Amino acid sequence: MLDTYREVVTPEGVGLHLPAAGPVPRALAWGIDLGIRLAIIFVMAMLLALFGEAGAGLHLIVMFLVFWAYPIVLESVWRGQTPGKKALGLRVVSADGAPVGWLAAITRNLLRTVDMLPFGYAAGLVACLADPHARRLGDMVAGTLVVHAGRERSHAPAPVNTVFVPPAQLLPEEQGAIVAFAERAPQLTPSRQEELANLAQPITAAQGQAGVQRLYGMANWLLGRR
């Protein structure tokens, strides 16, 4: 696959493309959250040490809440994000693209104990690499997906005045691919546009920016923009 997109069709017939996040950005987000949790525990340990044995008992409660309640509560009330995920532009959603709920957040985080086996999240890493949408075991059971949150981009809009008649009859799937390219290309970098356009060289007979312009032109022709 050129992109790790999960396509979901809503009951209204609207197609959603969820950009699944791979293990690397997820690991970086987890590292940020781990640093925050350790900092909270360290500060609380110094404060609770002033209360002697009672403080030691409270410290154990704080450790439990920080390591288990921290991700569950934040993902449930903060639109599927923790500070680490927000910093990396990630978000947890349901498999159908809906916001993640409490039950799903609890399930996916409790099953981290399985993903950690036998050490260092080895089981979770293997699951991410084997799954087409980079889900760990907890996500599979909870029916959740970690995606890249949408961000505004500053690329130029697609030119709508260019029309290019395809040199040969196109199959329905080829027509759909060309129209989809024209819709998504303005959100991609120029180099990524050219990379995708080069794959369509047998149809466009062009590469680079020339191929990109011809794909735009074909999409305009297919959509009736004369």
> Do residues 165 and 137 share a domain?
no
Q: Is residue 224 part of a domain?
A: no
> Do residues 136 and 162 share a domain?
no
Give the residue from 119, 148, 177 where a domain finishes.
Answer: 148
Give the residue from 148, 181, 201 where a domain finishes.
Answer: 148
Q: Is residue 93 part of a domain?
A: yes
> Do residues 192 and 207 share a domain?
yes
For 81-135, the pLDDT digits (tens) are: 999 999 999 999 998 888 999 999 999 999 999 999 998 899 999 999 999 888 9
> Do residues 75 and 135 share a domain?
yes
For 15-54, the pLDDT digits (tens) are: 677 889 999 999 999 999 999 999 999 999 999 988 888 8
> Do residues 81 and 158 share a domain?
no
> Do residues 65 and 93 share a domain?
yes
Q: Is the peptide bond before 118 cis (omega within 30 degrees of 0)?
A: yes
Tally of structural domains, the chain: 2
Give the residue from 148, 178, 199 where a domain finishes.
Answer: 148
| Nearest one of 151, 191, 146, 138 to 28, comparing CA atoms | 146
> Do residues 28 and 110 share a domain?
yes
Three-state secondary structure of the chain: CCCCEEEEECCCCCEEEEEECCHHHHHHHHHHHHHHHHHHHHHHHHHHHHHHHHHHHHHHHHHHHHHHHHHHHHHHHCCCCCHHHHHCCEEEEECCCCECCHHHHHHHHHCHHHHCCCCCCHHHHHHHHHCCCCCCHHHHHHCEEEEECCCCCCCCCCCCCCCCCCCCCCCHHHHHHHHHHHHHHHHCCHHHHHHHHHHCHHHHCCCHHHHHHHHHHHHHHHCCCC
> Do residues 32 and 140 share a domain?
yes
> Do residues 32 and 117 share a domain?
yes
* Domain that residue 173 falls in: 154-218
Rounded to the nearest integer, the mean pLDDT of the chain is 86
Q: Is residue 226 part of a domain?
A: no
Q: Is residue 84 part of a domain?
A: yes
> Do residues 181 and 135 share a domain?
no
Task: Give the span between the Cα atoms of 206 and 208, in whole angstroms.
Answer: 7
For 52-70, the pLDDT digits (tens) are: 888 888 999 999 999 999 9
Task: Confirm if 104 and 79 have CB atoms less than 8 A apart.
Answer: no
Residue 2 scores a pLDDT above 60: no
Q: Is residue 87 part of a domain?
A: yes
Q: Is residue 108 part of a domain?
A: yes
> Do residues 130 and 57 share a domain?
yes
In this prediction, residue 161 carries a pLDDT of: 66
Q: Which residue has the higher pLDDT, 73 or 186?
A: 73
> Do residues 132 and 178 share a domain?
no
